[in-house]
Structure 1
Amino acid sequence: MEESEKTRLGQVTQHRLLSVAYWRFSVNAALTLLDMAMLVVASAAVITLRHETDLYSFRFGFPVSMSVYLLVCALIWSACLHGSGVYHRHVMGDGYQLNALLVKGTLLAAMVTCAFDFIMRIGVSLTSIVLSFLFGLLLTMVERFFMRLLITHGRRKGRYAYSTVVVGSSEGIVRALGFLGQKQQLNYRPVAVCPIHVNAETGLIEAVTDIEGLSARVKDVLGASVPIMTYGDDFAERAVSLHAQTVMITDVMQRFSDNFNTFALNVESMNLEIALVTSAADVSGHETQVRVIQGTTVMTICLPQYSPAAMLQKRIFDIVVSALAIVISSPVMLAVAIAIKLEDHGPALYTQERIGLRGKPFKIHKFRSMYVDADAKLAEVAAANGQELGACVKIKNDPRVTKVGRFIRKTSLDELPQFFDSFIGTMSVVGPRPQRQFEVDGYDQVYATRLLVKPGITGPWQVSGRNDLSDEESRQLDVGYVQSWSVMGDIVYIFRTVGTMVNPNGAY
């Protein structure tokens, strides 16, 4: 490479890094100041209304200015939110995940503020602290809602995003572009694609020369054309010339292979980030430890959420949430049962065998949404709609569904009796949806990992589009849950379920 070209690429790289650093600093600074302002407003209102404005440090014997106290609380609040991951670039555009982290940061900030008040012996009551952070949380959620609208609007205009070159097979590229179009919180903006394949004789990565139709498929997915790069030794330099920040690898190059390792070195030496689309069952999210034992290096991996303590937490969570749900929803369940009974005089409840934890069958209970002989007609109705029995039978306008059944399915009220199943332990509140034996028989080895956790009343499938999801999207969601569930994540799914019940897309 000529010296002038190296200089030009260096200038492009510097400009790109400064541009990204500028918008990341600007956005996070604005969000931090607004979050702090929300807590200051909430705290000032609570403390004033409760007549606790005369603050004094009884331990050190001096009065404390109200403005100074509010500033300290706001700084604690900001630090705790930062520690909870609220300002991560993939979180700022994701409402449900953001709100869960806001709750986590709020709890931590309230505890730190209580500790600060105890050390200083400032006479602010515990009730005032709790109310201040509670109202601060609510105001911040509202503020973040409007900021999220501004951020996502800016990303559609190409701002607040990482320019990305997508590398992989033609099919992998199209899948990744569709995924990125749906997941704006990931803030990757495709600026080029680079189709590749493995030479069967040499085992090396080569450019795909037959790209007929790829440009049209890319335009269909993105709604606009992007350049198609030809893979070669100067790939990284040309990616920099496009002002790319990230190279996303969708498939073809396998992790830990020489192809991937040499490509990664080449790309990262130009200060480009690598984003790797991996299998849903990839071990990268596992807790990893490396030990050297008598000269031999041993790497151990584990998923900490499967420890006995974590499993006990999930069981307690299921019992508490199920008990509350049963008590709160009892009037609704009674009304639904009466409506079902009045429509066709059949039983209100429907019991069916489903496959649960580690492939063990159990009885699931739902409100009956179909006519009494519906199961016997499944094969017939599926055939009439051009489908075969399998893991993904999806029938719109199913003639077996009753009028009441159509309503309770749309609003997910038919699932309410499953809280009794969760309470006794055959199901969980959150988890992959329970399926029947003929559906389980169609699993491959990756999808079968969904049986390693209890099925749930709600979960990733139920809140992400339900029947409108493709087979691959459903599998990724379920296997991803097995890899990464947590009690905090389950709380997020419960909040998302409420949103789905209000706007029930994909339910039929």
Structure 2
Amino acid sequence: MSSTPGTAVLNVVSPSAPAVQEAPQLRGPSTWPPRYAATLVLLDILAAVLAGVLVVGFFQPTVTDPILFPAFVVLVPMWPLLLAATGAYSARFLGTGSDEYLRIARAALVLLAFSGFAFYAAQLYVGRALVVFGVPMLALISVLAHAAARRVLRALRDRGRCLKRVIVVGRGGAVLGLVDQLTRERFAGLQVVGTCVTAADRSRVAQLTELPVGGLDDVLEMARRLGADTVAVTSASETAAEYLRQLSWQLEGTDLELLVAPGLIEVAGPRLHIRPFEGLPLLSVEQPKFEGWRRVVKGVVDRSAALVALVLAAPLFLAIGLAVALTSPGPVLYRQERVGVNGSRFTMLKFRSMVVDADERRAALHGQNQSDGLLFKLRVDPRVTPVGRWLRRLSLDELPQLLNVLGGSMALVGPRPPLPAEVAQYDSSVSRRLLVKPGLTGLWQISGRSDLAWEEAVRLDLRYVENWTLAMDLKIIWKTASAVLASRGAY
């Protein structure tokens, strides 16, 4: 199963036990993964047909070789077969993570190489339409189809369907932490139905959770009784290595999936690898990359995109500026000192959404602060102007920060830009937010914005810092639009 960025969970393949035991009859595996995979196969066949129609429709008038249409007829059944061969339909990658999309891209590359070789070997000319337009369009349509299917799957999970029923095993504190995270991140598709902890932790866990609590030797019995299909073991389990080995043997033949949480909560994705050392599998954790060519590429992409956005949004800037100037006395832009990468300070720009003396009036409202951390937030802030309330709801007040991105003090995606007063109260772990440039949007933006608790906002920022990739940036930008239109946490 693919792990979410904040819940690094590793599949464990059970080794052969020294003695074969009679396997208890437990509930079979969930039935939704094969049905969901079959739906994806159908969507990919339709994607291949649509891509073929588009290529033939747009390019057939200029392509005289009649092989173009038959070529796509052959590729229609080949496409889902290639996706299956690359693992795009594997239950491990369905519903979470980027592996599913990476396997679509891999299948597209294989298809390009195979078709190019086949047509060359057969001395068939099908034009550049197939290579330049057809296969990339096919991959794009499939990605969009899989993304749409994933949205439907997550909506079903929000209603309590298409979930794997999980028993969490380990020491009390680690179990409670993993239970809390899996409950909070329900889109991962794991529903905790019970816990098995050490004898010393049973009473404490029972007091802090309403879930059934058993001992470390009760895993199979509890899984049978609660209808679980997955067992998740925390890294802090008692006598972890020996216990995990014995448990994996006990689960053989039961159709129960065994997962292991390595305990590196904010480290996931491409930084985690299993490396065998003389037959001993160890978890390899790569160091985060804060410099290098990927950061250079990110900077170039950020500034280029900001420049294009500024040009295209110029009429919108003018309209918002006029609305702010005509409805409230004071400057159109609000300037505020923020802290950037490595503690450097810069002036962040926003369209003014409050009255001119908002900063001076903040002290009088401090007792009404609704934030549980270092931030100051009010759902109904009397300092916000009528136009400002509308700008904040759609996050349009943030648009001038494109100038900060163009100037290099901010990025399109990154942690929330903090105030100097907040940074002064950071501890060593929270200070890691400053290892990268702050962003116009980020995981906090697509996860609830002002509705987030302080601890959760910090956790999301640290997750981004630890696991940043260009693909993650694209995913966050894609999701920002829906978050803004839904106005989640915007006030």
Q: Normalized against structure 2, the TM-score is what?
A: 0.79
Q: How many residues align?
A: 463
Which residue of structure 2 aligns with residue 70 of structure 1?
A: 73
- How many Å separate the matches in 2 of 1:275 and 1:415? 41
Quote the RMSD (CA, aligned, Å): 4.0
Relative to structure 1, the CA distance from residue 145 to residue 279 in structure 2 (aligned partners, 3 Å threshold; closer, same or farther) is closer
- How many Å separate the matches in 1 of 2:350 and 2:61? 52
CA contact (8 A) 2:172 2:198 kept: no
Relative to structure 1, the CA distance from residue 453 to residue 156 in structure 2 (aligned partners, 3 Å threshold; closer, same or farther) is closer
Which residue of structure 2 aligns with residue 193 of structure 1?
A: 195
Of the structure 1 ranges 33-42 and 172-181, higher mean CA displacement relative to structure 2 is found in 172-181
Of the structure 1 ranges 173-182 and 479-488, higher mean CA displacement relative to structure 2 is found in 173-182
Of the structure 1 ranges 160-169 and 334-343, higher mean CA displacement relative to structure 2 is found in 160-169
1:342 shift after superposition:
1.2
- Superposition pairs of residues 144-159 of structure 1, within 5 angstroms: 144=146, 147-148=149-150, 151-152=153-154, 155=157
User: Which deviations, in whole Å up to 9, do the C-alpha atoms of 1:70-105 show, x marking residues without a partner?
Assistant: 33365257636874x7545465435x9599658846
CA contact (8 A) 1:50 1:128 kept: no
Which residue of structure 2 aligns with residue 214 of structure 1?
A: 209
Which residue of structure 2 aligns with residue 259 of structure 1?
A: 239
Of the structure 1 ranges 298-307 and 342-351, higher mean CA displacement relative to structure 2 is found in 298-307
CA contact (8 A) 2:83 2:103 kept: no
Q: Normalized against structure 1, the TM-score is what?
A: 0.77
- Superposition pairs of residues 102-501 of structure 1, within 5 angstroms: 104=105, 108=109, 111-112=112-113, 115-116=116-117, 117=119, 120-127=122-129, 129-133=131-135, 136=138, 139-140=141-142, 143-144=145-146, 147-148=149-150, 151-152=153-154, 155=157, 160-167=162-169, 179-181=181-183, 183-194=185-196, 196=197, 199=200, 206-208=201-203, 211-212=206-207, 214-215=209-210, 228-240=212-224, 242-249=226-233, 254-255=235-236, 259-271=239-251, 272-276=257-261, 278-282=263-267, 286=271, 301-303=285-287, 305-385=289-369, 391-501=374-484
1:385 shift after superposition:
3.9
1:241 shift after superposition:
5.2
- How many Å separate the matches in 1 of 2:138 and 2:56? 13
Structure 1, gaps ≥5 residues long: 1-5, 57-62, 200-205, 219-227
1:419 shift after superposition:
1.2
CA contact (8 A) 1:246 1:273 kept: yes
Identity across the alignment (%)? 28
CA contact (8 A) 2:214 2:222 kept: no
CA contact (8 A) 1:285 1:483 kept: no
- How many Å separate the matches in 1 of 2:323 and 2:308? 23
CA contact (8 A) 1:387 1:393 kept: yes
Relative to structure 1, the CA distance from residue 277 to residue 37 in structure 2 (aligned partners, 3 Å threshold; closer, same or farther) is same
Relative to structure 1, the CA distance from residue 258 to residue 179 in structure 2 (aligned partners, 3 Å threshold; closer, same or farther) is closer
1:10 shift after superposition:
3.5
1:464 shift after superposition:
0.9
Pairing partner for 1:51 from 52, 55, 60: 60
Relative to structure 1, the CA distance from residue 316 to residue 76 in structure 2 (aligned partners, 3 Å threshold; closer, same or farther) is farther
CA contact (8 A) 1:353 1:436 kept: yes
1:391 shift after superposition:
2.1
- How many Å separate the matches in 1 of 2:336 and 2:202? 52
Helix, strand or coil for the counterpart of 1:247?
A: strand
Relative to structure 1, the CA distance from residue 151 to residue 442 in structure 2 (aligned partners, 3 Å threshold; closer, same or farther) is same
Relative to structure 1, the CA distance from residue 381 to residue 142 in structure 2 (aligned partners, 3 Å threshold; closer, same or farther) is same
Structure with more contact order per residue of length (Cα contacts < 8 Å, sep ≥ 6): 2
- How many Å separate the matches in 1 of 2:144 and 2:222? 43
- How many Å separate the matches in 2 of 1:475 and 1:276? 21
Is 1:32 the counterpart of 2:32? The answer is: no
- How many Å separate the matches in 1 of 2:99 and 2:275? 32
- How many Å separate the matches in 1 of 2:422 and 2:331? 26
1:164 shift after superposition:
0.5
1:355 shift after superposition:
1.0
Of the structure 1 ranges 159-168 and 419-428, higher mean CA displacement relative to structure 2 is found in 159-168
Structure 2, gaps ≥5 residues long: 1-20, 252-256
The residue identity in structure 2 corresponding to 1:425 is G
User: Which deviations, in whole Å up to 9, do the C-alpha atoms of 1:427-452 show, x marking residues without a partner?
Assistant: 11100110112212333332221111
1:354 shift after superposition:
0.8
CA contact (8 A) 2:164 2:229 kept: yes
Which residue of structure 2 aligns with residue 41 of structure 1?
A: 50
